[in-house]
Amino acid sequence: MFSESRFMSLGNRSITRDARRLMIALAVISAAACAPTRPVVEPMPEAPPVVVAPPPAPVAPSSVTIATSHDTLRYDVVSTARVERDSAGQANREEIVTKARVSFAMERIGTGVLGRALDLRSTGRVDGFVITSSDRVTGSRSSALPGVATTPSRPVAPLTVPFDATLNGLTARVSPRPALVNECDQPEMSALALARELLVRLPPELVVGRSWSDTTRVFMCRGGVPVTVQQVGTATVRSLESGPNGAFTRVNIDRTLQTRVEGQLATSWRTVGLTGRGSGTQQLIVDATTGALVELQSESTMQLDVRDSARRDQGQQSLTQRVTLTAERVR
C-alpha cells in the first residue's frame, strides 16, 4: 500500500508533467499563430504588346524654282481651226490646219514678286510653216482699204520666219526679222501666231495650288482692219511629278483664258467693225528644273461678229471659231 504522502507526491508529479505538456502545446500554437503567413503569389498579367509607331513621313516639297534662261528649245506645233460662218442665213463650215517647227531661246526677266509672272524676251525661228484648208477657203484675202492688193492667205511653199519676241504684263509682241513693210494678212504673221502660243510667262517659283493672272494685248490686222486682242489668263499649278530617283521632273499647270476682240476701220465710204469674245483652256507640262515648256494642249472657242457697211443687206455676219492646238518639245 502506498502511503498518503507518497500518493500526494506522485499526484503532484503527474500534474506537473501534464502542465508542462500543456504549456509546450500552447507555446507551439502561439508560435504558429505569430509566425508570418506566406503570401499567395498570383500570376502576373501579360503586358500588352508595345506598338512602335513608324516615324512620320517627311513632308514632300510642294514647290520648285525654275531657271530664268534657256538655250534653244524646239517644238512641233499643230493648230486646227474649225470655222462656222452664218452668211445670209446659210451656215458655211471650213477647216484650216497650220503646222510648223518652232525653235527659240529665251530669258525670263524680273524681280520675282510673289504671285506675278516674270517678263519674257526671246529670239527664234519658225520653220516649215504650212497651211492646209478646205476648198471653201480662198487662197487670197482682200483688204477693206482702197487700192490695196489682195494678199495670199497661205504660203505657196513651206515658210521660214525668224523673229524677236517680248512679253510683259501689257503686251505680247512677236515681230518678224527683218520687219515687213506691211504685216496685214501676211502669212508670216500667221506663222508667228504659233510661236506666240509657246511663249508662256511663269513665276520664278512654282508652288502647288498657287495661281497667278496676267493680261496681254496683241495688235494685228485682218482685211485691212486694225484689231486689238486682249487676253486674260489665269494659271494654277495643279501638281508636281517625280521621277525614278524621287526628284521632281515635271510641273502640271492648268490655265483658263478669256479673250476679247475689237477692231474698226472707218473711211468716208465704208465702215467695217469687228467684235468678239471667247474662252479657252490649256494644260501645260513644264520641266521642273529648267522651267521650259514640255507639252501644251489648248482648246478655245471664239464668237465673232462682223459689220460691213459695203454689204448690200447692211447686215451682220457671225462666225464661230473653234481651235485646238498641240505642241510637243523635240530634242
pLDDT on residue 214: 87
| Residue 79: domain span | 67-330
pLDDT score for 290:
85
Strand bridging mode 63-65 / 205-207:
antiparallel
Residue 292 lies in a domain: yes
pTM, whole model, 2 decimals?
0.75
**Within-domain flag for 20:** no
Domain count for the chain? 1
Query: Residue 8 belongs to what H/E stretch?
Result: helix 4-34
pLDDT for res 2: 46
Q: In angstroms, rounded to a whole number, what is the distance separating the alpha carbons of residues 329 and 77?
A: 9
* C-beta atoms surrounding 100 within 10 Å: 27
- Give, in degrees to the nearest 5, the angle at Cα 71 between 242 and 329: 55
Residue 166: what pLDDT? 94
Is residue 218 domain-resident? yes
| E-state strands within the chain | 63-65, 69-87, 90-109, 119-133, 140-141, 151-152, 159-167, 172-176, 205-207, 211-222, 225-242, 248-266, 271-287, 293-308, 316-330
Whether residue 62 is contained in a domain is answered as: no
* Residue 9 within a domain: no
φ, ψ for residue 312, nearest 5 deg: -65, -40
* Residue 19 domain flag: no
The CATH number that applies at residue 213 is 2.30.230
Q: Is 27 part of a structural domain of the chain?
A: no
Question: Is the residue at 12 inside a domain?
Answer: no
Beta bridge partners of 323: 81, 300
Chunked into runs of 10 residues, the chain (331 residues) has average pLDDT values of: 46 55 56 54 70 65 82 96 77 89 93 76 96 66 50 74 91 92 88 94 90 90 89 94 75 97 88 94 93 95 90 75 97 83
Report which DSSP code applies to 108.
E
Q: Is the Cα dihedral 141, 172, 296, 162 positive or negative?
A: positive
